[in-house]
Chains A and B, each alone.
Chain A
Amino acid sequence: MDIPYTVAVRRDTGLTNGKIGIWLFLASEVMLFGALFASYILIRVGAPSWPRGDTILNVPLATFNTLVLISSSVTMVMAWASLMRGRLGTFRLYMGATVLLGFVFLVVKYFEYSHKFESGLFPSTNNFLAIYFTLTGLHMLHVMGGMAVNAYFMGPGAKQWKSNPVWFTNRVEHAGLFWHFVDLVWIFLFPTLYLL
Chain B
Amino acid sequence: MLPDFYNELGAMHGTIMVFLGVVPLAVGGFGNFVLPLQIGAPDMAFPRLNMASYWFFFLGGVTMLASFFVPGGAAQSGWTSYAPLSILAGTGQTMWLFGMIFLITSSLLGAINFITTTVQLRATGLTFMRFPFFVWAQFVTAFLLLLAFPPLEAAGAMQLMDRLAGTSFFLPTGLVVSGQVLQVAGGGNPLLWQHLFWFLAHPEVYVLILPAMGIVAEIIANNTRKPLWGYRSMVYSLVFLGFMSFIVWAHHMFMTGMGTAMAAFFQTTTMIISIPSVVILTALIISLWGGSIRYNTPMLFAVGFLPMFGIGGLTGLPLGLNVADIPLHDTYYVIAHFHYVVAPGTIFALFAGIYYWYPKATGRKMNETLGKIHFAGSFVCMNVVFMPMFLVGLAGVSRRLFDGGASYAFAQPVLHLNVVSSWGAWILALFQIPFIFNFFWSIRKGEKVGDNPWEATTIEWSAPSPPPHGNFLHAPQAYRGPYEYSVPGAAKDFTAQYEA
The contact string, 1 if C-beta is below 8 Å from chain B, for chain A 114-157, is 00000000111111001101100010000000000000000000
Q: Does A10 contact B (CB under 8 A)?
A: yes
Q: Which of the 9-residue segments A30-38, A59-67, A82-90, A181-189 touches chain B?
A: A30-38
The contact string, 1 if C-beta is below 8 Å from chain A, for chain B 108-131, is 100111011001110000000000
Does A1 contact B112, Cβ atoms closer than 8 Å?
no
Does B121 contact A43, Cβ atoms closer than 8 Å?
no
Q: Please give the number of chain A residues whose Cβ is less than 8 angstroms from any Cβ of chain B in the complex.
A: 39
Does A127 contact B184, Cβ atoms closer than 8 Å?
no
Interface of A is mostly: helix
Q: Does A47 contact B (CB under 8 A)?
A: yes
Does B154 contact A28, Cβ atoms closer than 8 Å?
no
Q: Does B146 contact A (CB under 8 A)?
A: yes
CA distance A125 to B471 in the complex (A): 57
Does A34 contact B151, Cβ atoms closer than 8 Å?
yes
- A1 in contact with B167 given A20-B115, A24-B112 (CB within 8 Å): no
CA distance A4 to B45 in the complex (A): 8
- A35 in contact with B168 given A46-B189, A124-B185 (CB within 8 Å): no
Does A124 contact B167, Cβ atoms closer than 8 Å?
yes
Does B150 contact A28, Cβ atoms closer than 8 Å?
yes
Q: Does A110 contact B (CB under 8 A)?
A: no
Interface residues on B, range: 35 or more
Does B120 contact A29, Cβ atoms closer than 8 Å?
no
Does A42 contact B185, Cβ atoms closer than 8 Å?
no
CA distance A61 to B71 in the complex (A): 44
CA distance A4 to B113 in the complex (A): 14
B183-219 CB contacts (< 8 Å) to partner A: 184-185, 187-189, 192, 195-196, 199
CA distance A190 to B121 in the complex (A): 41
Which of the residues B168, B189, B199 comes within 8 Å of A42, measured between beta carbons? B189
Which of the residues A13, A20, A32, A123 comes within 8 Å of B150, measured between beta carbons? A32
Does B116 contact A123, Cβ atoms closer than 8 Å?
no
Determine how close the nearest CB of chain B comes to the CB of A187; give it in whole angstroms.
19
Which of the residues B112, B165, B188, B471 comes within 8 Å of A127, measured between beta carbons? B188
By a CB distance below 8 angstroms, the chain A residues around B196 are 35, 39
- A3 in contact with B43 given A36-B154, A124-B167 (CB within 8 Å): yes
CA distance A76 to B302 in the complex (A): 53
Does B147 contact A28, Cβ atoms closer than 8 Å?
yes
Query: Which residues of A are in contact with B by a Cβ distance under 8 Å?
Result: 1-5, 10, 13, 15-17, 20-21, 24-25, 27-29, 31-36, 39, 42-43, 46-47, 122-127, 130-131, 133-134, 138
Query: Which residues of B are in contact with A by a Cβ distance under 8 Å?
Result: 42-43, 45-47, 49, 108, 111-113, 115-116, 119-121, 146-151, 153-155, 157-158, 161, 165-169, 184-185, 187-189, 192, 195-196, 199, 470-472, 475
Can you list 25 residue pairs at the A/B interface with Cβ under 8 Å?
A3-B45, A4-B121, A15-B120, A21-B113, A21-B116, A24-B112, A24-B116, A25-B108, A28-B108, A28-B147, A29-B150, A31-B151, A32-B150, A32-B154, A42-B192, A43-B192, A46-B189, A123-B161, A124-B165, A126-B187, A127-B188, A130-B167, A130-B169, A130-B185, A134-B158
